[in-house]
Structure 1
Amino acid sequence: MSGQDAADRARSTGRRIKNTIMLATAVLSLLTLVAWTQVWFGVTLTDDTPLEIAGEVAAPALSALALASLVLVGALSIAGPVFRIVFGLLEALIGVAVVFSAVVALQDPVVASASAVSDATGVAGARSIADLVQTIDPSIWPPVALVVGVLLVVAGLAIVVTGRRWPGSSRKYNATRLAPVKRERTSVDDWDALSSGDDPTTND
């Protein structure tokens, strides 16, 4: 295999890795946003009133984290090797934040649901709200957000490890050469030349 063939194969492999990681990260970011919109907990109060606690209540930071992750995906498409490492680390940190949000909600669903319970009952205070909650049934979405966060961390680390193998931007710039346009000498030009003391019959 010639050196050119090896270089072409390396670029092709790097392009596949780049496209795969970027697509996976974009999908995970969208899943984070979807999880934020879904019901995380079904709460039943002591008077048998049912409440549905959405992710926007239980883990409000997920929307901002998902959007930040999508912005990073866009930036990665044109970033150079150094910035790929920086963006990869930022992506991993976003994943950690998603994991943290999911874990906090799962560990204390009463606190995660407190604002919704307070809005429904008019009762405030952590202890008073806890006394109002009879049962809490978690849905599948908190674990989904947890897994997605872990995968975002993996994607960020994969960007750091493989970023130097990614091909650069494929934008091409066409240079336009500007050449002076040569025109025929007119009588006005001859008169101007005479006025300035030049002989118009002399070739340049």
Structure 2
Amino acid sequence: MTAQNPAPAATAASQARRLKSMTIFAVVIWSALVFLAWSQPWFTLTAQGRAGDSISVTVQGAVAAPALSALALAGLALAAALAIAGIVVRLVLGILEFVLGASILASAVGALANPVLAGQSAVTTATGVAGSSSIQSIATSAGSSLWPFLAIVAGALMALTGILIVVTLKRWPVSGRKYQPVQFAAEDGRVAGNPVDLIDSGDEPPADEVAGARSADAAPEAVSNVDDETENTAAVDSWDSLSRGQDPTT
């Protein structure tokens, strides 16, 4: 027989582990970038104050796209779940990662498309004017920072990572041994989860085992007979001691 070269198998296993690690790391990075963008100022609005003067209003990402924090935290939790997920759960998580990325992308694009509407709560706090139509009549956009664009890029990358998880889920290595069911192996190479399934009904136990089993079955019967005789003898002796050797029925 010729010995097989284990190098290709080891290389494939190493590539699978690297793919899993890099994918999980990417999910963590994109989620962290979304959370960072959410915490920074996005827009600067110019609003007309009550005295007719112009007021500069800074709109934070937490105001313009408040849902990003929850979506970023969900992405971090998803990365932790990917570390121990099986192939079916991994498929579900890949789809969920795509949905999270698409949701982040839609939220950031929506805020960037209408900064005044996204920052209306900040304008209300600065001017006391409420209502979307009223705010849009007194406020205009004076510029935006790079943070909403970063959120858009991170959301797009999260969606692409979700697709990557779905496409490559069969190439990932299996989870650790402690997450796998116990398997029993027979001498002939058969494997089963239940050891009873490995017992061949046609096999007969050795003769010495049968003899030992019969002896073990017979021993309790012999002991039981001795105990019965001893009990009967003790009963007769007790009767004689009580009746003083005379028959009380006569």
Same fold (TM over 0.5): yes
- C-alpha distance in structure 1 between counterparts of 2:169 and 2:10, whole Å: 17
Shift in Å, 1:42: 1.1
Q: For the Cα contact (< 8 Å) 2:104–2:152, is it kept in 1?
A: yes
Counterpart of 1:85? 91
- Matching residue's letter, 2:108: A
1:114-136 deviation per Cα after TM superposition (whole angstroms, max 9, x unaligned): 01111221111112111221442
The count of corresponding residues between Structure 1 and Structure 2 is 179
Counterpart of 1:43? 45
Shift in Å, 1:110: 0.7
**Map 1:102-117 → 2, pairs under 5 A:** 102-117=108-123
* 3-state secondary structure, aligned to 2:168: helix
- Matching residue's letter, 1:111: L
* 3-state secondary structure, aligned to 1:124: coil
Counterpart of 1:67? 73
Gaps of 5+ in 2: 183-222, 229-250
Shift in Å, 1:8: 2.3
Residues 126-135 or 16-25, more deviating: 126-135
Q: Structure 1-normalised TM-score?
A: 0.81
- Matching residue's letter, 1:87: L
Residues 95-104 or 134-143, more deviating: 134-143
Is 1:8 matched up with 2:10? yes
Identity %: 46
**Map 1:119-130 → 2, pairs under 5 A:** 119-130=125-136
Shift in Å, 1:172: 4.4
1:49-69 deviation per Cα after TM superposition (whole angstroms, max 9, x unaligned): 222111110001100100111
Q: Structure 2-normalised TM-score?
A: 0.67
Gaps of 5+ in 1: 176-192, 199-204
Q: For the Cα contact (< 8 Å) 1:43–1:133, is it kept in 2?
A: yes
